[in-house]
Amino acid sequence: SDPALGGTYMTLMNTLNNVGSAWPSSLVLVLVDPLTFKRCSTDVDNTCSTPELKMGCAGECVTKVDGYYVLVALCTMFGLLWLRWAIPTVRKLQKKDPEDWKAKSQRQKELERAQFL
C-alpha cells in the first residue's frame, strides 16, 4: 500500500472486510429452510411447508431434500463462476506497474508533468 495513505487504507480495507464477510453467512443461513423440501409420510400432497401443514400431517414430516445440500451446490457454482471472472481480472491488475497504485496529490502530478515538458 501507499505509505502516504497507509492508515486510511487499512481502515477502509478492514471496514470492507467486516461488511463483506458478515452478510453472506447470514443470507445463506436464512436460505436453508426455504430450500429444504419435506413431505408428509401419510399424505403425499402435504409439503409440510407451513406450521398449519405440519400440524395437519398425521404422520411425520420427512425431509426429501435438505436445503444445506442445495446451498452447497449453488454456492459452489457461484464460486466457480466468480473464479472464472476473477482470475483474469486479478492477473491483469497484477501486471500493472506499482506506480499506478500509488496515490498522488495534485502537486505531485503537476511536478511530474513539468518534468516531461
pLDDT at 101: 80
Which three cell numbers mark 73? 451446490
Domains identified in the chain, total number: 1
- Is residue 48 in a domain? yes
- Domain span at residue 47? 36-65
82 in a structural domain: no
Give CA–CA dist 49/38, Å, rounded: 7
Provide the whole-model pTM: 0.64
Burial 82-108 (b: 16+ CB within 10 A, else e): eeeeeeeeeeeeeeeeeeeeeeeeeee
Model confidence pLDDT, tens digit, residues 52-102: 998 998 889 999 999 999 999 999 999 999 999 999 999 999 999 988 887
Nearest to 55 by CA among 64, 67, 43: 43
The secondary structure element, H or E, covering residue 40 is strand 37-40
1 has a pLDDT exceeding 70: no
Q: Percent of the chain scored above 70 by pLDDT?
A: 93
